[in-house]
Structure 1
Amino acid sequence: MDNKPFRILALAGSLRQGSYNQGLLRAARELAPNWVEVSFFDLGTLPFFNEDLEATDDPTVVHQFKDAIAHADAVLIATPEYNGMVPGVLGNAIDWASRPTGQSVLRNKPVAVMGAVLGKSGSIHAQTALRGALKRIGAVIVPDPQVLVPHASRLFDEHVNLRDEKTREDIRRLIEAIAHWCQRIKPDRSDSALSGADWSR
């Protein structure tokens, strides 16, 4: 029996204090069953991608980032939408994770995407672009449910805790979907934790 926790690495495409997308990830950690471990990596610690840096071996923090991905069973990304695109800090992280070409640490890694914005798009444009980039480097995209969160300021309290029950349920279902996709991709993983999971939270 595999007693190891199911590990999800959570990445936020927004660095600001009070970020709604960081709030989504905190909600994911709160809603995850007790056999799921959600950890965070601060993308703001990564330097801008530069092949000169890469040529002399990745900086230490980039090694740490890639190791965090490698040791996770899956990755969960929460992205805002800037000018209809993925934020630069998130694009930069994907650039680092995509290297070396053809050997990305994200290759065959299940990745789920969600996002919150102040406007009405729900981050759909950023999510579409992000899924395209991830697919190109070989990640396995968890297709459903889509978690698109428009008008985010209405859904969080003053401490940036997600209070909207529908969105919380969507996130709970997304975590379940991540685990099931991992089960399909890694058939050698014990079914005991997944089949015995309590999704009643």
Structure 2
Amino acid sequence: MKKIILNSLILLAIISCGNKTKSKTEEVKGIDKKYLEYVDSLKSENDLKIRMDEEPIIIVGKKLKVGDKITQVPLAVNTKLEEKNIFDDKNIKVLYTAPSLDTKVCSIQTKILNDEAQKNPDIKFYSVTEDTPFAQARFCTENDINGIKAISDFKYHQFGLQNGLFIKEKGLLTRALIILDKDNTVKYIEYVKDEKNEADIDKALAFLQKMKK
């Protein structure tokens, strides 16, 4: 855990430095080398075959599957950048992970899940992305999203890295739909095989209704 957090901090420092004007070529080369070494150290430990922009992508870590416990990490929950463990309560949870809220497919599916969240107040619905909380808040305000809660993994990427949801090449979360029971055990999961396609929300909701009985 400490090693992963350290690597994430290194990655953030590298990206931050990369956005500043460099005066020494050697420094730029050094940073580039460290960045490449870090990215290369991220390994796939699964058999997932997922595509993005018609190209295969690598999902870091082990494939999350039914029966697994979700790895709990703090996530940013608002524009004050406050962090919270959303898995603390004893509620059934629906997690929708995606590359970004502000894309056509993600937007459509988030709105559908928002409607379902309003119909099922006893169940917690979350959309988890690497978008900043500011971008998430803007999207939710503009689209009247007030049922499903937008949560951000932007700071340390720990949710994606530790739960087999992080796209190595893009630094984003892959599209997946997950249902957890009250003890945060995975009861349902769909990894969408092509990022341009939608998750099967109808199938997940049908499972959810059976689970509630």
The TM-score, its normalising length taken from structure 1, stands at 0.30
Higher strand share: 2
Whose Rg is larger? 2
Higher helix share: 1
